[in-house]
Structure 1
Amino acid sequence: MKSVFALFIALAAFQPSFATTSEDVKQKTSEAAASAVNYTKAQQEAFQKEMEAKLAEMKKEIAELKKSAAAKTGEAKNEMNQQINSLEKKQDGMTKDLAQLKKSSGKAWGHMKDGMSKAWDSITDSYSKAKAEYAEQK
């Protein structure tokens, strides 16, 4: 009987360390939410930097296409310039989208990211086609 009584006393002494108050729950929930926000912000910043780097590289590649088109004459030159103009318009659109992406948050950020990823796929496909046509015309 004394050992059972001692066990109850020991458990009573340790009980407060296991107790969870509503304040504890609020604090832990707040910490978890802050961690999620910070993680999302880090993802957003990483994606933005990646897109900025890709757009800068695409700008260089378009400049190379312009040099190549300048050496062309006639219809070949016109076609290359049309493709370059199309690429530049897409790139300008992506630059504007990137500016909006920087201002977005939450669900809007997710939608913007998906849209930019699809737009990037489109511009790289267009660039590949233009480059392949130029290679054929050489």
Structure 2
Amino acid sequence: MTDRDAFVQKMKAQIDEWNAEIDKLEAQARGAQADQQAKYDEELKKMRDQRDTAQAKMEEAKKAGDAAWDDMQDGMRKAWDSMSSAFEQARARFK
């Protein structure tokens, strides 16, 4: 398995985890009082946007050739870390 394949698998697992978390929080939001509903909807949108960005980055990594992957590897990892952090911050606001 190449470094790129391992990275893509890690991204896929994280996206799957995020999808499960979004589903859980959507259920929580549905049970919220009206004054909290808008806040939950806003945070869920941010989480979905981060997930969608991560999926696009994952597809970019999957399609990159070996030479291109070598050139973009550090940038991809930094972007992934940033997306993960933003997702976690949005999730933390649910508490």
TM-score by structure 2 length? Answer: 0.80
Which range moved further: 112-121 or 76-85?
A: 112-121
Task: State the AA in 2 paired with 1:63.
Answer: D
1:111 Cα deviation (Å)? 4.6
Q: Is residue 49 from structure 1 mapped to residue 12 from structure 2 by the alignment?
A: no
**Alignment map for 1:1-138 (pairs within 5 Å):** 42-135=2-95
Cα distance in structure 2, aligned partners of 1:111 and 1:74: 48
1:36-71 CA-to-partner distances (Å, cap 9, x unmatched) read xxxxx6111111111111111111111111111111
What SS is found at the alignment partner of 1:59? helix
TM-score by structure 1 length? Answer: 0.58
Query: Any gaps of 5 or more consecutive residues in structure 2?
Result: none
Q: Give me the CA root mean square deviation.
A: 2.1
Higher relative contact order, chain-length normalized (CA < 8 Å, sep 6+):
2
Residues 109, 54 of structure 1: alpha-carbon distance in 2 compared, 3 angstrom cutoff: same
> Number of paired residues?
95
